[in-house]
Chains A and B, each alone.
Chain A
Amino acid sequence: MIYNIYIFNKDGTCIYYEDWNKKKQSQNQSEDQKLLFGMLYSLKAFITSSSPKKIDDKTGFHCYKTSTYKLHYYETLSCIKFIIMSDPNVPDLRDDLKKIYSQIFVEYVIKNPIYKHGTTVKCDTFINQLNLYLKQMPSFSS
């Protein structure tokens, strides 16, 4: 089961957020987003500095799991971060996050002449396509 998705740009601004199936509501969404970004930034730095082996794309940070949820993480070369939170039993979503970036985000946000770089994403087409993609995944609702 997938709970929500975040997209951060390189400045740490959350440019897109949407939640489904979530049971616990957020008190201050903006504060939660900053907290999440800060945590991920620190976690990535920690993993890089503490790893006994050299970090590369395949061994770098891409998810963590707790007893109640699992966080999937994908960062592009341009420092755009895609984060999905799901229940702990969902398999690795790294490939799906890559597809979301290359086939939905680039096509319907970057190539959209109306979109201003660095602002919150509100494009109808992107939102529709993203929801279509996520909801056709087997792990979305089960």
Chain B
Amino acid sequence: MSDPLSNPTINTTNVGGQTTTQNTIGGVGGGKSNSVGTPYTTPLQTSAYTTANSLSATNSPIPNHHMINSNSSNNLSGMVTPGGAGLQQQQSSITSSTNNLGLLGQQQPQQQQQQTLLQPFTTQSRLISASCFEFFYIEMIDCIMKSSSDKQQAHKKLDKLGFKVGHRLVERLSLDTALFPELLDAVKFICKVFWTTVFKKTIDGLKTNHKGGVFVLTDSKFQWLQHLSFDSSASNKDCSEYVQFTAGLIKGAMSNFGFKCIVTFDIQQVSTCVFTIKIES
């Protein structure tokens, strides 16, 4: 009974050209064809699509759902390789059990089981990645500081790294966002969606000059300085290298929106950061 249904799905996933045609026949399948198309049409998502493809081959009943999830997981893997590997394994085991349960029942109960089982995984992955990333970040900065001839070179490297990450991340985050009518909306996106994804909170303050070319973003509890603390006797209390990467993130994100800019930052009292974005015209 289930075999005839699963085979066409596999073919649909593997052969890109036939996706829309075959999915249109079935009501449920038709509804999911959009999600199949979206990742594939974005060049940066190619590797994610490949991963999704292999997963859907194993768990054929609802391949589209896995693909969406795989994108998210793949995104994390890019930042945290060891953690990502663990996530992939967890994901596989969860979907496998879902698949087994699905074979025993009808189509609808199958989907319900799917959603129920995937929920805790999502929550877990966020908690895991937050802590893993913080430790990775500490080691990354330590490594770059040691391998650079001077502080300025280290800051350039961090800025460049941040630029690349920000550029890719914003592509991922803006999948479902409508076009921005003006510059201010792009900056608001950075303050809300982008900041929430990276730091789990929104920017606390946004100011702009009357011309609109300069924006000042204030984060009063900057996530990556929350745990940083010097000895009371320390003579050098410069921790700007722990913020430079973030300036690069903002720069890369704005660049991908089409706005070239210069981002500077100022660390005020403990863990308060002010980022200044100047648009180049």
User: A and B: partners?
Assistant: yes
For chain A, the count of residues having a C-beta within 8 Å of the partner chain is 13
The verdict on A113 contacting B141 (CB below 8 Å), with A107-B227, A108-B227 known, is yes
Contact B138 A113 (CB under 8 A): yes
- CB-CB under 8 A for A113 and B232, given A107-B227, A108-B227: no
Map CB proximity to B onto A102-124 as digits: 1 under 8 Å, 0 otherwise. Answer: 00000110011111000000111
B182 at the interface (CB under 8 A from A): no
B contacts with A, residue count (CB < 8 A): 16
Contact residues, B207-243 vs A (CB, 8 A): 227-234, 239, 242
Which residues on B sit within 8 Å (CB–CB) of A115?
229
Interface: A76 (CB within 8 A): no
Residues of B contacting A111 with CB < 8 Å? 134-135, 138, 227
Whether the pair B228, A122 counts as a contact (CB closer than 8 A) is no
Which parts of A94-140 form the interface with B (CB within 8 Å)?
Answer: 107-108, 111-115, 122-127
Q: Are A122 and B232 in contact (CB under 8 A)?
A: yes
Q: How far apart are the CA atoms of A124 and B233 in the complex, in Å?
A: 10
Return chain A residues, CB-CB under 8 Å to B231.
Answer: 114, 122-124
A95 CA to B62 CA, complexed, in Å: 46
Q: Which residue of A lies closest to B134 (CB)?
A: A111
What B residues does A125 contact at CB under 8 A? Answer: 227, 229, 270
- Establish whether residues A113 and B142, one from each chain, have CB atoms under 8 Å apart when the complex forms: yes
Instruction: Determine the chain A residues whose CB is within 8 A of the CB of B134 once the complex forms.
Output: 111
B227 pairs with A124, CB closer than 8 A? no
**Max chain B C-beta neighbours (<10 A), residue from A108, A111, A126, A127:** A111
Question: Is the CB–CB distance between B228 and A113 below 8 Å?
Answer: yes
Contacts of A124 in B (CB 8 A): 229-232
Residues A122 and B138 in contact, CB atoms below 8 Å apart: no
A122, chain B: closest CB distance, angstroms:
4
The minimal Cβ–Cβ distance linking B20 to chain A, given in whole angstroms, is 48
| C-alpha spacing A117/B239, complex, angstroms | 19
Q: In the bound complex, how far is the Cα of B228 from the Cα of A4, in angstroms?
A: 25
**In the complex the two chains form, is A122's CB within 8 Å of B233's CB?**
yes
How far does the alpha carbon of A40 sit from the alpha carbon of B144 in the complex, in Å?
Answer: 42
CA distance A73 to B270 in the complex (A): 33
Q: How far is the CB of B243 from chain A (nearest CB, A)?
A: 12
A interface footprint on B119-137 (CB within 8 Å = 1, 0 otherwise): 0000000000000001100
The smallest C-beta distance from A120 to any residue of chain B, in angstroms, reads 9
- Whether the Cβ atoms of A114 and B141 lie closer than 8 Å is no
Give the CA-CA distance A9 to B194 in the complex, in Å: 40
Q: How far is the CB of A18 from chain B (nearest CB, A)?
A: 13
Contact of B242 among A108, A113, A123 (CB under 8 A): A113
What is the minimal beta-carbon distance from A130 to any residue of chain B, in angstroms?
A: 12
Which residues of A lie under 8 Å from residue B142 when comparing CB positions? Answer: 113
**B-side contacts of A123, CB under 8 Å:** 229-231
B136-172 vs A: 1/0 string, CB under 8 Å?
0010011000000000000000000000000000000
Who on chain A is nearest to B237 by CB?
A114
A132 CA / B82 CA spacing, docked (Å): 36
- Determine the residue in chain A with the shortest Cβ distance to B141: A113
A114:B228 contact, CB within 8 angstroms: yes
Digit string of B13-28 for contact with A (CB within 8 Å is 1, else 0)? 0000000000000000
Chain A positions within 8 Å of B135 at CB level: 111
Is the Cβ of B228 less than 8 Å from the Cβ of A112? yes
Q: Which 10 A-B pairs have the closest CB atoms?
A: A125-B229, A122-B231, A111-B227, A123-B229, A113-B138, A124-B229, A112-B227, A124-B232, A112-B229, A113-B228
Given A114-B234, A125-B229, 4 extra CB contacts under 8 A: A112-B227, A113-B142, A114-B228, A114-B230
What is A's interface to B at a CB cutoff of 8 Å? 107-108, 111-115, 122-127
Can you report 10 A-B residue pairs in the complex whose CB atoms are below 8 A from each other? A111-B134, A113-B142, A114-B229, A114-B230, A114-B234, A123-B231, A124-B230, A124-B231, A126-B229, A127-B232
